[in-house]
Structure 1
Amino acid sequence: MSARRTRAISASERTGVLQPANLARFDARWIVPPDDVREIVDTYWAVRWHLDAGESIAQRIIDHPSVTFSIEHGDVDAPFVVTSARSHAWTRTLAGRGDVFAIRLRPAGLAVLSDLDPASLGPEQELTAALDARAHALLERIASAPDPARRAELADALVRARLAERPLRASQRIANAALEALTAQPHVQRIHDVAALLGTSERTLQRALRTHVGRGPGEIARRIRLQEVVRCLSVADGDIAGIAVDLGYVDQAHLTNEFRRVAGVTPGAYVEALARTQAALRGPAA
């Protein structure tokens, strides 16, 4: 695999990780899918950790509005997991040692790789053969590869084969295009304008996203925007008012209320906690 396909996940990126400084404490990498599988796979990512006895990392996350399949090994709850977007920030606690290889799907991907209904998925559940034989068989095959790079290459081949079996329908392409447009422009925007940009109706856009992601466009847009708020708060010296203006919020209070509903804290309290975490990781001053 070309070295250009894999790179470390940076603390300055839009990941939704609420303690981005923790990314330096374990190996976390993006693996970019090739162009011919990008209609199905948004990205692969891989994480590996080996912590001292008694040590743990509680990682709070506002997740991307997508469905993810993961292959997990070590001190984990299940070997295969499927997750969908949660309504609120959630916590993944890492302890001991382990690794995860994940496939974050584009909206079109779930119907190609599985028989799951996104509207019926819980936030996180074990992906068993009983839950979905098609997706389970896929992950079993990918898990047979020995490392993330070769898992990604095997996943590429399997995704191509699954896509040949189930070519994309028009609604899947609309859902892909909608999520791409919302991700590219995370500021507040009217769904009517997004639909017009894509040359479709608002009703068709809403139906496509609910069918293939299990969420409506407004909820998806808010989640992407909050991920961008997290990124900005971690790199912009806590300028909450400036971030509100840049992202098109009515005012700072609108941003604060939206952030608090999902993250459980105000942006100001989050910035203060972030500063304490960063200071603790730096250690005592000389």
Structure 2
Amino acid sequence: MTGNASSVDGHPVEPGERSGVLHPDNLARYDAQWIPPAADLAEVVDQYWHVSWSLGTGEELDQRIIDLPAVTATVEEGDVPAPLAVTGVQSGAWRRTIRGSGRVFAIRLRPAGLAVVSDLTVQEVNDRTVALNETTDGRLASLTRAVAAEYSPASRARAADVAIRLLLLERPPARSGLLANRIMDELRGDLRKRAGSLLAEQLAVSERTIQRALISTVGHGPKWVIRRIRLQEVARALVLRPSEELAAVAVELGYTDQSHLTADFRSVTGLTPGAYRREVARLTGV
């Protein structure tokens, strides 16, 4: 395989993006960037991202994210839980209290990616953050150490490209992983898409095959994945359109009704959409 140079020109994570950040005003407090991986790693890496922060003494930020159904490997410095870690798909909103100062460089994997770069299964990491070392996962620990040896986000992205490319030569993506990638692309591209026979027909596989591919790579079936992706857009819509009727948002995003959207949002965030809008307004002073 010939390597392609990574495009390391990152761009800021904007408050209006579908990032899943529940309090996007916090992004103004961080240096938060997306950095694209090399094109030849598209089946393994979804995105690199980098954040850094420096808060005042005693200052805290409660950061919650409705994350994409993806496993993420991180290199962390400062006031952080572990220097090298892997975090699985979260059933609820991912949550961390940000204090002091620190930096994180993250590798958000595609569904096919975990089996390429790691010896851990998705079931071993979901709803957990696992500190990486030779005992927990030597393969992924080696990758993240190579990234940690660099300093700037751009050089870390290049180091990740090189290390992942070597791992990919040793262990190409499985067919089920590549199918899961295709499924995820379809679901992320159409927020109103539903699981079932139409999706299976479009992908020329059985519904059972779709179910198995997603369970083995992200730990959840297609209905759960659709729900999670849609909730990212719900959070975005609630912030960007604070006065829009919730019923209209529900119709736009394919919910059966407003109560369905409300129950779905509350089950993951612990807040009703109305309470979330009020919290955002309080924090932003709007």
Please give the alpha-carbon distance, in whole angstroms, between the structure 2 residues aligned to 1:115 and 1:66.
16
| Larger CA deviation: 229-238 vs 184-193 | 184-193
2:94 matched residue in structure 1: 90
User: Among residues 109, 115, 119, which one is paired with 1:115 in the alignment?
Assistant: 119
CA–CA distance in structure 1, aligned partners of residues 277 and 257 of structure 2: 18
Q: Write the mapping of 1:148-227 to structure 2, written as runs, cut at 5 A.
A: 148-187=153-192, 189-227=194-232
The residue that corresponds to 2:59 in the other structure is 55
1:101-121 Cα deviation digits (max 9, x unpaired):
000000010010011110122
1:257 is the counterpart of 2:263: yes
Letter in 2 for 1:35: A
Aligned-partner Cα distance in 2 for 1:83–1:9 = 20
Secondary structure of 2:256's counterpart equals: coil
What is the CA–CA distance in structure 2 between the aligned matches of 1:2 and 1:68, rounded to whole Å? 19
Given the alignment, which residue of 272, 275, 282 partners 1:266?
Answer: 272
Contact 1:74 1:97 in 2 (8 A): yes
Return 192-201 or 93-102, whichever deviates more. 192-201
Deviations, residues 42-89 of structure 1 (Å, cap 9, x unaligned): 000000001111111111111111100000001111101111111111
Give the Å deviation of 1:194. Answer: 2.0
2:191–2:254 contact (8 Å) kept in structure 1: no
Moved more, 69-78 or 54-63: 54-63
Q: TM-score, normalised by structure 2?
A: 0.94
Which whole-Å CA distance do the structure 2 matches of 1:238 and 1:81 have between them? 40
In 2: Cα distance, 1:203 partner to 1:20 partner: 37
Runs of at least 4 residues of structure 1 off by over 6 A?
Answer: 1-4
Deviation at 1:188, TM superposition (A): 5.0
Whether the aligned pair in 1 keeps the contact of 2:6 and 2:39 (CA below 8 Å) is no
Report the AA paired with residue 269 of structure 1: A
Secondary structure in 2 matching 1:12: coil
**2:130 is equivalent to residue 130 of structure 1:** no
Q: 1:178 to 1:2 in 2, by over 3 A?
A: closer
- Displacement of 1:191: 3.3
In the TM superposition, 1:17-28 aligns within 5 A as 17-28=21-32
* Aligned 8 A contact 2:53 2:102 in 1: yes
Give yes or no for contact 1:82–1:127 (8 Å, CA) kept in 2.
yes
What is the distance in 1 between the residues matched to 2:66 and 2:52?
20
Report the counterpart of residue 80 of structure 1 in structure 2: 84
With 1-10 and 28-37 compared, the bigger mean Cα shift is at: 1-10
Partner of residue 41 from structure 1, selected from 35, 39, 45: 45
Q: How many residue pairs were aligned?
A: 280
Q: Give 2:250's match in structure 1, choosing from 236, 240, 244.
A: 244
* In 1: Cα distance, 2:151 partner to 2:125 partner: 29
Distance in structure 1 (CA, Å) of the matches to 2:60 and 2:181: 37
Task: Determine whether 1:233 maps to 2:238.
Answer: yes
Partners of 1:197 and 1:232 lie apart in 2 by 29
Structure 1 residue 206 displacement after superposition = 0.7
Q: Percent identity?
A: 47
